[in-house]
A and B are shown apart, each in its own frame.
Chain A
Amino acid sequence: MKRVILTRLAWTLGILLGVSFVAFVLMRALPGDFAIAATGAQSVAPEVLEGIRRQLGLDRPLIEQYVIWLGKALTGDFGVSFVTRQPVAGTVFDRFIVTFQLALIAAIMSIVMGSITGLASARLRGATDWIVRMVNGVMLAVPNYIVATLIVLLVGLYFPQFAILGYTPFLSDPVGNIAGLLLPALALSLAVSVTVSENIRAAVLEVANQDFVMVARAKGLRRGAVLRDYLIRNALTPVVTATGLKVAALLGGSILVETIFAIPGMGQYLYESINSRDYPVIQAIILLTAAIVVLVNMLVDIAYARIDARVRL
Chain B
Amino acid sequence: MSDAARENVDIVAPAAKRRQFFLNGGHILLGLGGVMLAIVILTALFAPLIAPYDASATSPESLAPPSAAHWLGTDSIGRDVLSRMIVGGRTTLLITFSAVFLALVAGLILGLLSGYLGGLVDEIIMRALDIVFAFPVFLLALTVVAAIGPTIPNLILTIAIVYTPAMARVVRAPVLSVKQWDHVEAARSVGMSETRIVLRHVLPMVASPILVNTSLTLAQTIFTITALSFLGLGPPPPDPNWGGMVSESRQFMELAPMTVVGPAAAIVFATLTFIVLANGLRETLDVGN
Contacts and interface: CB of A to CB of B under 8 A. Distances in A.
B139 A270 contact: yes
B147 to A, nearest CB: 4
Nearest to A17: B131
A255 B146 CA distance: 14
Using C-beta atoms within 8 Å of the partner chain, give the interface range for chain A.
35 or more
Contact of A26 (B136, B143, B253): B143
Given A137-B275, A143-B267, A271-B231, A153 B130 contact: no
Given A142-B268, A150-B264, A293 B134 contact: yes
Interface in A205-260: 248-249, 251-253, 255-256, 259
Interface string B113-140: 0000000000000011011111111110
B253 A156 contact: yes
Interface in B234-261: 246, 250, 253-254, 257, 260-261
A30 B148 contact: yes
B193 interface: no
B219 interface: yes
Nearest to A294: B134
A30, A141, A150, A255 — most chain B CB neighbours (10 Å) = A141
Contact of B254 (A146, A156, A275, A286): A156
Main secondary structure of the interface of A (DSSP, over half): helix
B147 A30 contact: yes
A15 B126 CA distance: 12
Interface string A253-285: 101100100000000001100110000001000
Interface residues of B, number: 41
Nearest to B128: A18
Contacts of B226: 143
Main secondary structure of the interface of B (DSSP, over half): helix
A149 interface: yes
Given A18-B127, A141-B219, A289-B135, A256 B231 contact: yes
B67 interface: no
A30 B143 CA distance: 10
Contact of B257 (A157, A253, A256, A271): A157
A256 B40 CA distance: 26
Contacts of A14: 127
A128 B49 CA distance: 43
Given A15-B131, A149-B246, A156-B254, A286 B139 contact: yes
A137 B257 contact: no
A145 interface: yes
Interface in A163-205: 202
Contacts of B134: 15, 19, 248, 290-291, 293-294
B135 A145 contact: no
A31 B264 contact: no
B271 interface: yes
A228 B171 CA distance: 38
Contact of B136 (A30, A149, A249, A271): A249
Contacts of B102: none
B257 A286 contact: no
A259 B271 contact: no
Given A142-B268, A146-B268, A252-B138, 17 more contacts: A26-B143, A137-B276, A138-B268, A142-B271, A143-B226, A145-B246, A146-B264, A153-B257, A157-B254, A157-B257, A202-B289, A251-B139, A252-B136, A256-B138, A271-B142, A271-B231, A275-B146
30 contacts: A15-B130, A22-B132, A26-B143, A31-B148, A137-B272, A137-B279, A138-B268, A138-B272, A141-B272, A142-B268, A142-B271, A143-B271, A145-B227, A145-B230, A145-B246, A149-B264, A150-B261, A152-B253, A153-B254, A156-B254, A251-B136, A251-B139, A256-B227, A271-B231, A274-B142, A274-B143, A274-B146, A289-B135, A290-B135, A293-B136
| 9 closest A-B pairs by CB | A252-B136, A30-B147, A252-B138, A141-B272, A18-B131, A141-B271, A290-B134, A274-B146, A248-B136
